[in-house]
């Protein structure tokens, strides 16, 4: 199996780094990727002009694409809509909010919406995932899916030393469920910094992979996005940083896949 994925997150249209976003689109168009993934926060405040920019940018990319919402994709200022119909605008411009899915030969990708318009805590921007959501994703995979990927916005388990927290309600239990389902990668955004680490469950071969931001809201890391390449038993994740004129490698990780799933 050989597959190449572009993983972007936290573009925050309305507050995007215009040059970095344009450069990412150019690289994706030239890169021969099998799938482009955006793990949430397409917009800054979920305003309609921001969604229009996001939609136009996505539609200019080669397909296929898979997108999941982030907390910034629920209206920030229109509080009534945020509470009662938080992803109505997202679904109008982008697509289904509960989840999107994609399947190719031997590979399957399933989204889970960890964002909420309101929660019984003051910081509603933090993540939440139910066991029902996690199990529905786990049960969606088929025996022929040798590479299994889940896409969320919030990291289910906190990044050690990260620039901010996700504090996902239900995250640790969901990570266990996905590990039991032999998911290979759980892609996320939210904290604006790239990272990888294995979940502390099972065989240690289910990996969290975080993506940086393409917005001006940098948190100690240049604007960046990830390229994920899978070949046989190896998963290679490269965080590409924007220099102001082009992208170059910022960090690279090599991850081992489960040998019973890896195909040469």
Return d(Cα 264, Cα 261) in angstroms, integer.
10
> What tens digit of pLDDT does each residue of 33-58 get?
999 999 999 999 999 999 999 999 99
Q: How confident is the model at residue 260 (pLDDT cuts 50, 70, 90)?
A: low
Cα separation of 169 and 148, whole Å? 23
Q: Are the beta carbons of 251 and 236 closer than 8 angstroms?
A: no
- Residue 84 Cα distances to 69, 78, 114, 118, angstroms: 16, 10, 16, 9
CATH no., domain 2-256? 3.60.21.10
Question: Tell me, what's the pLDDT at 45?
Answer: 97
Burial of 264 (0-12, 13-18, 19+ CB in 10 A): exposed
- Enumerate the β-bridge partners of residue 254: 236
Best CA proximity match to 40, nearest among 114, 91, 122, 123 = 114
Q: What do you get for the CA distance between the two ends of the chain, in Å?
A: 6
Side by side, which strands form the sheet with 234-242? 65-67, 35-38, 2-8, 224-231, 234-242, 247-256
What's the pTM value of the predicted model, to 2 decimals? 0.96
Segment 172-224, tens digit of pLDDT? 999 999 999 999 999 999 999 999 999 999 999 999 999 999 999 998 899 99
- Would the pLDDT of 111 be above 50? yes
What sections of 41-127 are H helices per DSSP? Answer: 48-59, 79-84, 88-93
């Amino acid at each position: 199996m050989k597959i190449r994925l572009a993983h972007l997150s936290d573009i925050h249209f309305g507050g995007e780094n215009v040059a970095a976003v344009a450069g990412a689109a150019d690289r994706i168009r030239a890169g021969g990727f099998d799938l482009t993934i955006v793990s949430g926060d397409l917009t800054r405040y979920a305003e309609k002009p921001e969604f229009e920019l996001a939609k136009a940018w996505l539609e200019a990319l080669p397909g296929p694409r898979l997108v999941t919402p982030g907390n910034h994709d629920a209206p920030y200022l229109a509080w009534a809509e945020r509470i009662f119909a938080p992803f109505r605008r997202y679904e109008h411009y982008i697509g289904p909010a509960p989840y999107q899915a994609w399947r190719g030969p031997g590979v399957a990708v399933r989204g889970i919406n960890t964002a909420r318009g309101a929660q019984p805590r003051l910081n509603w921007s933090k993540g939440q995932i139910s066991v029902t959501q996690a199990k529905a994703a786990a049960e969606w995979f088929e025996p022929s899916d040798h590479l299994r990927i889940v896409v969320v916005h919030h990291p289910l388990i906190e990044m050690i030393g990260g620039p901010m927290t996700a504090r996902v309600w239900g995250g640790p239990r969901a990570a266990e469920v996905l590990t039991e389902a032999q998911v290979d990668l759980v892609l996320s955004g939210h904290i604006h910094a790239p990272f990888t680490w294995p979940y502390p469950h099972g065989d240690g071969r289910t990996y969290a992979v975080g993506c940086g931001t393409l917005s001006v809201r940098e948190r100690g890391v240049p604007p960046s996005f990830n390229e994920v390449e899978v070949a046989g038993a190896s998963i290679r994740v490269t965080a590409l940083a924007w220099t102001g004129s082009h992208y170059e490698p910022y960090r690279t990780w090599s991850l081992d896949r489960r040998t019973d799933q890896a195909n040469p």
